[in-house]
C-alpha cells in the first residue's frame, strides 16, 4: 500500500519525524510519481543498501539529479576500488588527529564570538555562531584566511548546499551553476600552486590541500580535478550541515526544557546530548544511490539506474533500533546512539563526523557556560532549502 509522501511539502519539511514514523510503519519503500525517485525508510534496509556497493552505486552523485561523471566529487561519487584508494589518500591528511588538533584554537575562536555578544544581551544563534564556526574550521583546514573570505564562503555554501535537492526549483540550479564557477575559480590558483610546489620538490605547507597534493601511495597521486572537487565539497558538506546541527541543538533545548535542565545538572551528558540532537533531527534528511541492475524494494520493481534516496533521518526514528524513537532523550542508551545514520553508513560514512561533533559540543559548552539562562526572542525561520533540516534564524536573549 503506497502512502502519500512529498519530500518538498511543508508537511514533511516542517515535521519530518512524524512523516518518517508513518512511512516506516506503513510504506517503507516509496516511489514518487512526480519526481520519479524512490525512498527507503527503514534502518535495516538502508544498512543493506549502503553495504552493497556493487548493486547500489554512488557514481551518479548524492542528489536526486544524475550528476555527470565530469562533475564527480572525490569520495562521495566514487565506488570501490577508486573509493578505497581515495579514502586512504584523504585519511592521511584528514584524520582524527588533525581534527582534534583544532579544538584549542576553536575554543578560543568561539570565546571571541561570545565576547562580542556578551554586552548585546541577544543574538541570532545561526548568523552569529552557527554559520561562522564551521566556516572558520573549513578555512583552517584549507589554509584560507577566514576574515577575508567568510562573506563569500557564506554565500556559496547556502546556494550550493541548497542546490543538492533543488529539483523543484530550477532557478536555484541556475544560480548554483554561477556560484559553483566562482568557487572553482577561487580554488584553482591555490590547487595549482600546491601542485607546482610538490612537483618542484618543495613543501607547500601543512593545510589539507597541501597534504593532499603531497599524497603519494605507491605512485597514486590525486589528480588536479579531484583536489579541486574535494576542496569544494568540504566547503559545502562541512558547513551547512554543522550550522544546522548547532541550531538544532539549541532549538531542541528550548523545546524540551526538562532535557536542558538535565544537561545543566549533568554536564557530562554533553556528548550524548549532541548525538541525540543528531538522531532526533538528522541535518541531512537523505542522500542517493543509483542501482546498477534492476532490484526489488519490497513490492516495488525498480528498473536499473533509478535514483534511490536513503532517508537517514527516518533510520534514526526506526523503532526496531531505537526505544521510543519519537522521544527526545539526552540520556539515551549509548549503544543505541551508535546506530544513528545522520552521517550515512558503509564506506561513505562521513569522514568529518568527529569534527562536526566537536564543533557542536564546543559551541554548546561555551554558550551554556556563558549564557545559561538563554530564552527564545523572536520567530524561528526555517532553513530555506529542502536539502537540510534546520533553521535559518534562531533569536536568543539572556
Residues at the contact surface with ligand HEM, assessed by CB under 6 A: 58, 62, 75-76, 87, 234, 237-238, 241-242, 245, 283-284, 287, 312, 342-344, 348, 350-352, 355-356
Residue 300, C-beta contacts closer than 8 angstroms, at least 6 positions apart: 29, 31, 38
Instruction: Tell the smallest beta-carbon distance from residue 198 to ligand HEM (Å).
Output: 21
For 185, other C-beta atoms within 10 Å of its C-beta total 9
Pairing of strands 38-40, 307-310: parallel
| Contact (Cβ atoms closer than 8 angstroms) between residue 363 and residue 133 | yes
- The C-alpha cell 526538562 sits at 258
Tell me the HSE value of 211 on the side-chain side, using a 13 A CA sphere.
17
Cβ proximity to ligand HEM: between 183 and 351 the closer is 351
| Helix, strand, coil shares, percent, the chain, to 5 | 55, 10, 35
SS3 label, residue 375: strand
Instruction: Tell the smallest beta-carbon distance from residue 95 to ligand HEM (Å).
Output: 11
Cβ proximity to ligand HEM: between 87 and 380 the closer is 87
Element (H, E) at 102: none
> Among residues 284, 356, 363, which one has the least CA distance to residue 125?
363
Instruction: Tell the smallest beta-carbon distance from residue 22 to ligand HEM (Å).
Output: 22
Cβ proximity to ligand HEM: between 101 and 196 the closer is 101
Q: Any idea how long the chain is? A: 398
Name the closest residue to ligand HEM (Cβ): 352
Instruction: Tell the smallest beta-carbon distance from residue 118 to ligand HEM (Å).
Output: 27
Residue 56, C-beta contacts closer than 8 angstroms, at least 6 positions apart: 49, 50, 289, 290, 291, 292, 308
Instruction: Tell the smallest beta-carbon distance from residue 289 to ligand HEM (Å).
Output: 7
Cβ proximity to ligand HEM: between 82 and 397 the closer is 82
Grid coordinates given for 25: 510503519
- Distance in angstroms (rounded) separating the CA atoms of residues 171 and 125: 28
Instruction: Tell the smallest beta-carbon distance from residue 258 to ligand HEM (Å).
Output: 25
Instruction: Tell the smallest beta-carbon distance from residue 168 to ligand HEM (Å).
Output: 20
Cβ proximity to ligand HEM: between 271 and 397 the closer is 271
- Distance in angstroms (rounded) separating the CA atoms of residues 285 and 6: 13
Cβ proximity to ligand HEM: between 122 and 361 the closer is 361
Grid coordinates given for 295: 532490484
Cβ proximity to ligand HEM: between 5 and 343 the closer is 343
Cβ proximity to ligand HEM: between 84 and 261 the closer is 84
Nearest-Å Rg of the Cα atoms of the chain is 21
Instruction: Tell the smallest beta-carbon distance from residue 265 to ligand HEM (Å).
Output: 26
Amino acid at each position: 500500500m503506497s502512502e502519500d509522501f512529498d519530500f518538498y511539502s511543508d508537511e514533511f519539511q516542517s515535521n519530518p519525524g512524524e512523516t518518517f514514523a508513518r512511512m516506516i510503519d506503513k510504506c517503507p519503500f516509496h516511489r514518487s510519481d512526480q519526481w520519479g525517485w524512490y525512498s527507503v525508510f527503514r534502518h535495516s534496509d538502508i544498512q543493506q543498501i549502503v553495504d552493497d556497493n556493487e548493486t547500489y552505486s554512488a557514481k551518479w552523485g548524492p542528489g536526486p539529479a544524475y550528476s555527470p561523471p565530469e562533475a564527480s566529487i572525490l569520495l562521495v561519487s566514487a565506488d570501490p576500488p577508486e573509493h578505497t584508494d581515495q579514502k586512504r589518500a584523504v585519511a592521511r591528511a584528514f584524520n582524527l588527529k588533525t581534527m582534534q588538533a583544532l579544538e584549542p584554537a576553536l575554543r578560543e575562536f568561539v570565546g571571541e564570538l561570545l565576547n562580542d555578544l556578551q554586552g548585546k544581551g541577544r543574538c541570532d544563534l545561526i548568523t552569529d555562531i552557527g554559520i561562522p564556526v564551521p566556516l572558520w574550521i573549513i578555512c583552517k583546514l584549507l589554509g584560507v584566511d577566514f576574515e577575508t573570505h567568510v562573506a563569500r564562503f557564506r554565500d556559496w555554501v547556502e546556494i550550493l548546499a541548497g542546490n543538492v535537492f533543488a529539483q523543484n526549483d530550477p532557478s536555484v540550479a541556475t544560480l548554483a551553476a554561477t556560484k559553483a564557477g566562482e568557487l572553482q575559480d577561487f580554488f584553482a590558483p591555490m590547487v595549482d600552486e600546491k601542485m607546482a610546489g610538490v612537483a618542484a620538490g618543495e613543501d607547500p605547507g601543512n593545510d589539507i590541500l597541501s597534504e593532499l597534493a603531497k599524497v603519494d601511495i605507491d605512485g597514486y597521486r590525486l589528480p588536479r580535478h579531484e583536489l579541486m572537487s574535494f576542496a569544494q565539497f568540504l566547503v559545502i558538506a562541512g558547513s551547512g550541515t554543522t550550522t544546522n546541527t548547532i541550531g538544532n541543538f539549541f532549538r531542541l533545548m528550548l523545546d524540551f526544557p526538562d532535557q536542558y535542565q538535565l544537561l545543566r545538572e549533568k554536564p557530562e551528558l554533553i556528548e550524548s546530548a549532541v548525538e541525540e540532537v543528531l538522531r532526533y533531527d538528522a541535518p541531512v534528511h537523505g542522500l542517493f544511490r543509483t542501482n546498477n541492475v534492476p532490484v526489488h524494494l519490497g513490492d516495488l520493481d525498480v528498473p536499473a539506474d533509478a535514483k534511490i534516496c536513503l532517508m537517514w533521518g527516518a533510520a534514526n526514528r526506526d523503532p526496531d533500533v531505537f526505544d521510543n524513537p519519537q522521544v527526545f532523550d539526552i540520556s539515551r542508551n549509548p549503544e543505541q546512539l551508535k546506530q544513528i545514520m545522520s552521517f550515512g553508513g558503509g564506506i561513505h560514512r562521513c569522514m568529518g563526523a568527529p569534527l562536526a561533533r566537536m564543533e557542536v559540543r564546543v559551541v554548546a559548552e561555551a554558550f551554556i557556560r556563558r549564557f545559561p539562562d538563554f530564552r527564545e526572542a523572536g520567530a524561528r525561520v526555517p532553513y530555506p532549502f529542502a536539502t537540510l533540516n534546520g533553521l535559518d534564524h534562531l533569536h536568543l536573549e539572556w
